[in-house]
Amino acid sequence: MNAVMLALALPLLGALLALAGRERVTPVLLAVTGAGASLAVLLAGLLGFASSTPILYAFGRLPELGLLDVGLDPMSSLFLAVTGSVFFAVSLASPGYLPRYLGRYSLRGFSLGFHLLLASIVLVLLARDLVTFFIAWEIMSVLSYLLVAFEHRQAGTQDAALSMLAAGEIGTMAALVGLLLLSVYAGGTSFAALAHTARAIPAAVRWAAFLLTFFGFGIKAGLLPGMGWLPRAHPAAPATASALLSGVILNLGIYGILRTVSSFLGPLPVAATLTVLLVGAVTALLGILYANTESDLKRMLAHSSIENMGLVTVGLGAAFTFLAMHAPVLAAMAFVAALFHLVNHSLYKSLLFLGAGAVDQQAGSRHMDRLGGLVRRMPWTSGFFLAGVLSIAAFPPFNGFASEWLLIQTLLRSVELGPVAVKTTFAFAGVLVALTAGLAATAFVRAYAMSFLGLGRSPQAEEAREAPVALRWGMGILAGLCLLLGVTPTYIVTGLGRIVASFGPAGAQRALAPSFFGTGLPPAFLGTFSSIGAEVGKGVLPGPGLVLMHRIGPGGTGVAFAASPSYLLLILLVLLAATYGLRLALGTRGPAVLSRPWDGGRYRLWPEATYTATGFAAPVRVLFGSIFRRTVEHAEVRENAFRVRIERQSQETYVIDRLVSGPLWQATRWIASGLARLHHGRLNLYITYAFVVLLAALLLAHAW
């Protein structure tokens, strides 16, 4: 419990010190206090995971509402550990990024909001009753708004922050109504009471609560149809706030969905679970399609966050469906894949946003068409950004590969289910996920190549310098974690399997990370895989081994899928060493000779002649033009009755604005206009209105 109280107290202490410190030393002070508070949160998460029983603590009691409880269980411990890790890296990076705002905006205000945001997130994850949860949730939402609106004098910043706050409040109200429906049957607002009555809730109420909470928390996670605020908020926020927004805040939406379904609703109907699956798959595809066409680095990363939250939701939908179809082991595997991808996304997306902030700060632009050539001027930033790109594009041996591969392989296990409709839905979702994975690789190859390779396409890019040391430290820690989690997936899967077993089905560890270093595998099976290196490291490494594998068939002698990113890293290192040795053996021993690039006989290759990010995205725009729905306007320019040129202006309508926000806005205006017509000043008609309403009320009361 001391660790839990420390995780709450240190962020509050950091907030007080932020007010007392001088403006010029605030970035360094934030690094010290923020890192200390983040480590306390990380420690609380690790201790909560290690504890065999949940930790509970009562804050106080409110009349008619009962106890205000906080506590720690394995589910909240995981989210706390992720939160602490991201806040720690962002804290260390702050002295390299925040000084750009000196004299223009209040750094003490930013530091205050930073620490209070951490405290509110910790309280959200520790809350064990609805009152504490939603109070902390509202504080977190307001503080997120303030950090996004930090550059409030910039055009469009306040509108972007308000759109995020408004969308979040709509989602909060929906989730609150859904959970209050459950509390009516529970007779209280504590999580324990809600969990105790989960199976006694009528089917209609369960459906209503599911839809309200899934929609409400889904807005915070950036899921369809409430994802429109994300690409607006990220470009407006400072890079450090963007890292927290994607790396931590979005996770809270997933936490709300997972907590509600696993603890309060119990097993869902198959129709509800397939809804989660399809919403996640469509969200992921839409997010990555827009990421492929964006040229602003932060907007592109924002759309990618939508994609990754969609993939996490696909994993949750698959897990809920497997549970509903009485396949607990497959459900445990899907939960592990979803949580593994959530952890990975927090790390590499925070890294990429810090990298985008470094590029913006040093090169003066986030627009990929105005960048290029930064690999020579910002080599450390380029290397760390490349690590994030390889991670998010699911290239081994980085962490994105392990979780995305595991997610796809788990989806394929739907062949073990019976109903054809369920298999068909899984197949459709799997196709969307596979397409999403391919487009993600395209999007991030484009982002890295257009930003860091080739020639600089602006004077600022040509004169860019390396990012400050503190910012590089923050990126370096996250890049190292991306590699570490990528080459040790068996250990991550084992830990996540224990967490899943605390709120859902058990067996993920045995199903995915068989004990090659111990006992339990059939001798013939073990001998077959030992001969190809499955027991490399035995006697030296702890744990089950370095092979991810799912066994099927009689006696578990068949293999559905298997991979080892750990061995893959060793093979890659051997191949790189062999290639370098071959180059030394066959290459010239003299110095390398640099020659001018050839450009049609000219002596200089102009940046204007190179491929741009906009040109790179053209095939995706053409193939998926019906989604983007571009409108093109033509204008003729004439001089002395002669047409000199034709100008074309194109405008894209965001798919959510076109299909969701736009129709809702039009309906609202139509209703408002109708109500406005009722206010005409005629007393006789007002009396008629009152008489009609009274008559309708009496008839309804009589019918009831």
Taking the CA atoms of 194, 199, 203 and 207 in sequence, report the sign of the dihedral they define: positive
Residue 189 counted as domain residue: no
Residue 536 counted as domain residue: no
Residue 303 counted as domain residue: yes
Buried b / exposed e along 14-31 (16+ C-beta atoms within 10 A): bbebbeebeeeebbebbb
In three-state secondary structure terms, 506 is coil
Buried b / exposed e along 399-433 (16+ C-beta atoms within 10 A): bbbbbbbbbbbbbebbeebeeeebeebbeebbebb
The structure tokens listed for 267 are 């097993």
Whether the bond between 397 and the residue before it is cis, its omega within 30 degrees of 0, is yes
Q: How many CA atoms lie within 13 A of 12 on its CB side?
A: 8
Domain containing 309 equals 267-506
486, 506, 526 - which closes a domain: 506
Phi, psi of 61 (to 5 degrees): -135, 135
Phi, psi of 573 (to 5 degrees): -65, -40
455, 481, 506 - which closes a domain: 506
Q: What is the distance between the alpha carbons of residues 358 and 451, in angstroms, rounded to a whole number?
A: 12
464, 486, 506 - which closes a domain: 506
Asked if 422 and 291 sit in the same domain, the reply is: yes
Q: Letter for the amino acid at 266?
A: G
Give Cβ neighbours of residue 379 (< 8 Å, ≥ 6 apart). Answer: 466
Residue 475 counted as domain residue: yes
Asked if 280 and 396 sit in the same domain, the reply is: yes
Q: What is the pTM of this model?
A: 0.90
* Domain total in the chain: 2
Farthest-apart Cα atoms in the chain, separation: 102
Q: What is the distance between the alpha carbons of residues 60 and 58, in angstroms, rounded to a whole number?
A: 6
CA-to-CA separations, 621 to 281, 289, 302, in angstroms, rounded: 20, 9, 18
What per-residue confidence (pLDDT) applies to 52? 64
Residue 95 counted as domain residue: no
Asked if 484 and 339 sit in the same domain, the reply is: yes
Residue 517 counted as domain residue: no
Residue 692 counted as domain residue: no
What per-residue confidence (pLDDT) applies to 434? 93
Q: Tell me the average confidence (pLDDT) per consecutive run of 10 residues in the chain, 704 residues long.
A: 83 91 90 94 88 68 65 92 96 94 91 95 93 93 94 89 93 94 86 83 89 95 89 91 95 96 89 95 93 91 95 96 93 95 96 95 89 91 95 92 94 89 93 93 92 86 91 96 93 92 87 78 75 74 81 77 88 91 75 66 63 73 68 64 63 70 77 76 79 86 72
Residue 50 counted as domain residue: no
What per-residue confidence (pLDDT) applies to 533? 73
Residue with tokens 């989602």: 171
Q: What is the distance between the alpha carbons of residues 131 and 128, in angstroms, rounded to a whole number?
A: 9
Query: Which DSSP helix (H) or strand (E) runs through 630?
Result: strand 630-639
Which ranges of 51-73 would DSSP assign to H, the alpha helix? Answer: none
